Amino acid sequence: MFAYGNARRYYGAVFLSFTALAIQMLARGWIIQRDTGAPLLVALVPVMMMGPSLFLSLFGGVLADRVSRKRIMLAAEAANLAGFGVLAALVVADVAVTWHILAVTMFNGVTTAFSMPSRQAMVAGIVRRHEVPVAIGVQAVTFNLSQIIGPGVAGVLITQAGVGVALVASAVMIVPVLFLYAQMRPQRRELELRMRPRGPVLRNLGQGLRYVATDPFMRWLLALGSVVTVTLAAWQAVLPTVADEVLHGGAGLLGTLTLAGGVGGLIGAFAVAGLGNRVRFVRIEMAGALGWAVAIAVFAVSPVVAASVAIAVVAGITRELFFAANFGASQVATRDEFRGRVMSARGVMFGLQPIGALALGAVAEFAGVRPGLILLATSGAASVLVVHLLLYRRSSEPSVPSPEARPSP
């Protein structure tokens, strides 16, 4: 199965890193909500985190195809540790204001933009190609465990010990991440690759973009992922406002709603891992996207806390079905020499999320959170159907080879 040594280190590092980030993001959104009560400012937190990917991720992809991905991840996590530490110190000293939080979040966003293609491209180096669907499921399980544990820890620490303690704890969690990445052995597939791009960076970038643009299945994947990211993925930007002003539950309920989404995501991740090669990625993606839209619309009109928590679980399941299947299909369809640049195109896709977050924050500011979420869900479902009808071609979809068809990496 997997190259176990590297896989254990990789998944351990991803789990700790995302857990720390989940604590940070919840704490940052809560501080701004507490201090300002402005949904638009709260929505700026994910904007600052994901926005840089829109402009920088493509260069991160070229970097991932040219140099050691392990070194890129070490540098990125060291930078994250510095940013987390600075913000924790400001909050503990009781001098942090909104612009401090947004500035540090943008710094972390720049780091993420450069490192995300490398982290995602590393998956293919620790598995055989026919194992990619299962590996994607395992990565999704790892991510969603972090989304369960991180918000749960954040909610407890914020309510019992204060937001400063939560930020300090998340910074400390990055230290073992550096150790785990440092211990990863060079990936054989990466060592055997003899087609690393040479020459000017912009030429390498253009080659990657042409590869994506001329592949019809890749175009469909990225277009579908982009409309879902702009619309449905933005819904969590207003969760602090929903928890505080709509359901009147405060930081504890915010942690619970985020935790519920993580539990749902974990269920969806196990589903993707269990399905393996038995169900086509396309079917999983479409079911996930449309189900997610329905869940957000129902969440928007739910007046009861218990029902909202249950719906958040369903939203997490459908979200993970879509994104895990979209990611898995991208990995299977991509040639190794372009893997970093294709993953960077996905980074640009995720960088579109601030557009939806800002639009949702603006609608929530002037018309209310519930109408904003209903509009988001409706536009998301409509966009998914339009993209699928216009761009999907069954003949262009790649198949996952059987174990006997591919040698070990």
Residue-by-residue DSSP string for 201-240: HHHHHHHHHHHHHT-HHHHHHHHHHHHHHHTGGGGGGGHH
CATH of the domain at 348: 1.20.1250.20
Tell whether the model's pLDDT for residue 284 goes beyond 80. Answer: yes
- The reply to whether 404 falls in a domain is no
Domain extent at residue 40 = 4-182+209-396
What is the average pLDDT across 292-308?
Answer: 90
Segment 73-101 shows an average pLDDT of: 91
Asked, for residue 203, whether it belongs to a domain, the answer is: no
Average pLDDT rounded to a whole number, residues 330-354: 78
The answer to whether residue 22 sits within a structural domain is yes
- At residue 288, the pLDDT reads 93
Most confident of 15-24, 119-128, 190-199, 351-360: 15-24
For residue 298, pLDDT over 80 is answered with: yes
Contact (Cβ atoms closer than 8 angstroms) between residue 136 and residue 358: no
The pTM is what? 0.72
User: Within a domain: residue 190?
Assistant: no
How far apart CA 1 and CA 409 sit, in angstroms, is: 11
Residue 193 lies in a domain: no
Cα separation of 124 and 2, whole Å? 10
Question: What average pLDDT score do residues 170-184 get?
Answer: 92
> Of 36-40, 320-324, 366-370, which has the strongest mean pLDDT?
320-324
Residue 169: inside a domain, yes or no? yes
Q: What total of structural domains would you count in the chain?
A: 1
